[in-house]
Structure 1
């Protein structure tokens, strides 16, 4: 299947392909170079929030709002 690139570098992904990739309006896609074939692959860059579970370790103790604000203030000071 072929599509046309507009003068602004945009393409329209045909409905059948969007359906097979599970894409909806506003979803993001990635173009990944397959080193073996030298071709680019289109990969949906969307994940369910539940897929993120467990990527950040649980804190040993709860952090207070005051501690959060203090840390943010320290980070602002060191960024300057």
Structure 2
């Protein structure tokens, strides 16, 4: 068991043994979950299927409309960059 001290920003360092056991490397998403007064650290498993449905379309858009919107955004960005 490790005793950790929170920094002024509320940060703690996860002990190396726990990081290894959970497979936590730099950049690995984790979450803290409170359960009946106990805080649990969980590694967040991310795979492409977990992202399904995260974005909601406000209205259907055809591929042609998407291409047009992308082209307009690229042209706008180019125009702003050349004005500098």
Q: TM-score, normalised by structure 2?
A: 0.56
- Aligned-pair distance for 1:67? 2.9
* Backbone CA RMSD of aligned residues: 2.7
Which runs of no fewer than 5 residues in structure 1 stay unpaired?
Answer: 57-62, 74-80
Q: Which has the higher contact order (CA 8 A, sep 6+)?
A: 1
**Normalized per residue, which structure has more helix?**
2
- 2:40: which partner in 1? 41
Structure number with bigger Rg: 2
Which runs of no fewer than 5 residues in structure 2 stay unpaired?
Answer: 54-61, 73-84
Q: TM-score, normalised by structure 1?
A: 0.58
